Amino acid sequence: MTDQQVQNKIKTEEYFINMGPQHPAAHGVLRLILTIDGEIIKNVEPDLGYIHRSIEKMCERDSYQQIVHLTDRMDYLSSHINNEAVCLTVEKGLEIEVSDRVKVIRTIIAELTRIASHCLWWGVMGMDLGALTTYFYAFRDREMINDIFEETCGARLTMNYNIPGGLMFDIHPNFVKRTKDFITHFKTKIPEYNLLLTDNVIFHKRTKGVGIITKEDAISFGVSGPVARGSGFSSDVRKHHPYSAYDRVDFKEILFTEGDTFARYQVRMMELWESVSIIEQLIDNIPEGETKTATKAVIKLPKGEFYQRVETARGELGVYINSTGNKNPYRVKFRSPGFSNLSILNHISKDVMIADLVATMASFDFVIPDIDR
Amino acid sequence: MTNEDLQNIITSLGTDLEFTTEASEFLNVIVPKEQLHSLCSQLKSHPELKFDYAFCITGMDWVPALGVIYHLNSTELKHEIVVKVMVDDRENPTLDSVHDVWQTADFHELEIFDFFGIKFNNHPKLRRLFLTPEWEGYPLRKDYVDEANMIIK
């Protein structure tokens, strides 16, 4: 038999395989039902709900102050930014203007949160692709941010530092110094990250040209955050709908047009520099002022609909509150970035290898509670 | 484009459309359910509207009506509107799917089916997404009762 005849005789057939719910590359309990032919993926069907707690239903039962604490548990790596989103929505409904001090502190902590989240993503992205060292580098630096958070608000991950009307309490006296020390330290570490992973040839081969999203698809699938910006879709909420102190700082929206896994990687790496720059512009000029604007003990939003969006580390988080004037909201909807980003996964994973799906998912930076809510 | 300009253009795209800006920062368009799909396709394709980015799709229980709220944005022209559609039948609520207009609607309609029980015509594969296939009832409806798992105040 010739080689061609041998090849024709080898047949494969399609079958189902479960990737997850306990798969290391999913970073949580996400189940993907793959239809595969050999090692080629034909279809990806996500099955969600393993960590679904129906936060939206719980919100209908709780007061506005209580809702803030539930949002920590969605995207736990952006917990401060989630809290901020709800607080901004409630403040919009009550027509409260918080002081400049609150705005600046919120922005600094939000950017520290973004750095911490991107650090964790960078560590596990390397790990997913077989480079374990990145994990230790990233966690060493992320630890410093968590220590700063712990000193100021008592928690390292689910911070609960925001309340409607301001902050729970003022920053710790050490906050400014420790943040500056961290920034000085971290600026020497980003080049190390690049040396270790960004310029690695194996890493390039695993990521370049893999999982390409076109700009049109990104818009149609409602993709946001670094995933959208890797495809050239300008979607940064901080630029288009500035909130807190983002209108008074100078930063670039990072855009790449390739749309592949490596482009998404580069967006996040360059966003680290932008976050560092935002913090540097604000940290020496924290205005004096109140850290709380008094609200009534029982907050009642006026009748109406309120929508506020913020840019978390993963993309656009929208909070929709429908109020009938009671102390509980009538309906709360969280438009989570992870859920919309996940919707494009099947579209870009057809006819690729399973290993490429792992690389693509790593570049999406999924946090499963954010998808499931 | 201002809300008045938007309203003038959108008025010609359908009949019996209701407009309101009361208690919302966006222009709200309430569309009869029969016209939902045709209005949505025109909102996306009209050269002066170009609503190509459905950034939030919300299921809603207004009691007794169920419905869907679409938050739309034009990435090119930067204007935004909200489209609302209602369906009165609580036993067998059915709306047209708009997943062929905005592909993200595919997933959001699954979520709405799961929590509100609204069925979408022409949806590629309507199924329980978060809950188990044998789950009874639709939890985000206001009349849903589950004494075992809910704390009722």
* CA distances for A282 relative to A82, A124, A287, angstroms: 21, 30, 9
Residue B152 has pLDDT above 70, yes or no: no
For residue range B32-74, list pLDDT tens digits in order. Answer: 888 888 888 888 888 888 888 888 899 988 888 899 999 998 8
Residue A28 has pLDDT above 80, yes or no: no
Do the interacting molecules here have an ipTM over 0.90? no
Averaged confidence pLDDT in chain A: 87
Rounded Cα gap, residues A67 and A164, in angstroms: 10
Q: Read out DSSP for chain B?
A: --HHHHHHHHHTTSSS-EEE-TTSSSEEEEE-GGGHHHHHHHHHH-TTT---EEEEEEEEE-SS-EEEEEEEE-TTT--EEEEEEEE--SSS-EEE--TTTSTTHHHHHHHHHHHH--EEET-S----SSS-TT--S-TTSTT---TTT----
Residue B28 has pLDDT above 80, yes or no: yes
Q: Does A320 touch chain B (CB under 8 A)?
A: yes
Q: Which of A48, A60, A227, A233 would best serve as a mutation to test chain B binding (most B beta carbons within 10 A)?
A: A48
Q: Does B129 touch chain A (CB under 8 A)?
A: yes
Residue B65: Cβ-neighbour burial (10 angstroms; 0-12, 13-18, 19+): middle
Q: Looking at domain B3-94, does it have CATH number 3.40.50.2300?
A: no
The number of beta carbons lying within 10 Å of the beta carbon of residue B91 is: 5
Task: Give the closest-approach CA distance of B57 to chain A in angstroms.
Answer: 8
Rounded Cα gap, residues A347 and A354, in angstroms: 14
Please state the rounded mean pLDDT for residues B14-42.
83
Contact B71 A222 (CB under 8 A): no
Higher pLDDT, A308 or B25: A308
Higher pLDDT, A332 or B151: A332
Task: Give the closest-approach CA distance of A216 to chain B in angstroms.
Answer: 9
Which CATH number fits the domain that encloses residue A325? 1.10.645.10
Rounded Cα gap, residues B68 and A320, in angstroms: 13
From chain A, the residues in CB contact with B153 under 8 A are 61
Q: What is the predicted pLDDT for the residue at A1?
A: 63
From chain B, the residues in CB contact with A223 under 8 A are 104
Q: What is the predicted pLDDT for the residue at B153?
A: 62
Q: Does A350 touch chain B (CB under 8 A)?
A: no
How much of chain A, in percent, has pLDDT values that exceed 90?
16
Contact B107 A234 (CB under 8 A): no
Q: Does A346 touch chain B (CB under 8 A)?
A: no
Contact B23 A305 (CB under 8 A): yes
Rounded Cα gap, residues B5 and B8, in angstroms: 5
Q: What is the predicted pLDDT for the residue at B17?
A: 79
From chain A, the residues in CB contact with B126 under 8 A are none
How many domains is chain A built from? 1
For residue range A277-299, list pLDDT tens digits in order. Answer: 999 998 888 888 888 887 888 88
From chain A, the residues in CB contact with B82 under 8 A are 305
Residue B132, sorted as left (phi over 0), alpha (psi -120 to 50) or beta, turns out to be beta
The partner residue sitting opposite A220, judged by closest CB among B52, B69, B131, is: B52
The partner residue sitting opposite A316, judged by closest CB among B24, B55, B59, is: B55
Residue A373 has pLDDT above 80, yes or no: yes
Task: Give the closest-approach CA distance of A256 to chain B in angstroms.
Answer: 17
Residue A110: Cβ-neighbour burial (10 angstroms; 0-12, 13-18, 19+): buried
Q: Which of A14, A15, A18 is nearest to A29 (CA)?
A: A18
Residue A210 has pLDDT above 70, yes or no: yes
Given pLDDT bands bounded at 50, 70 and 90, which one contains residue A188? very high
CA-nearest residue to A62 within chain B is: B153
Contact A222 B53 (CB under 8 A): yes
Residue A274 has pLDDT above 80, yes or no: yes
Residue A108: Cβ-neighbour burial (10 angstroms; 0-12, 13-18, 19+): buried
Q: Residues A134, A122: contact at Cβ < 8 Å?
A: yes
Could you tell me the residue range of the domain that residue A213 belongs to?
Answer: 3-372
Instruction: Give the number of A-B residue pairs with CB atoms closer than 8 Å.
Output: 86
For residue range A152-186, list pLDDT tens digits in order. Answer: 888 888 888 888 888 888 888 888 999 999 999 99
For residue range B93-136, list pLDDT tens digits in order. Answer: 898 888 888 888 888 999 999 899 898 888 888 888 888 888 88
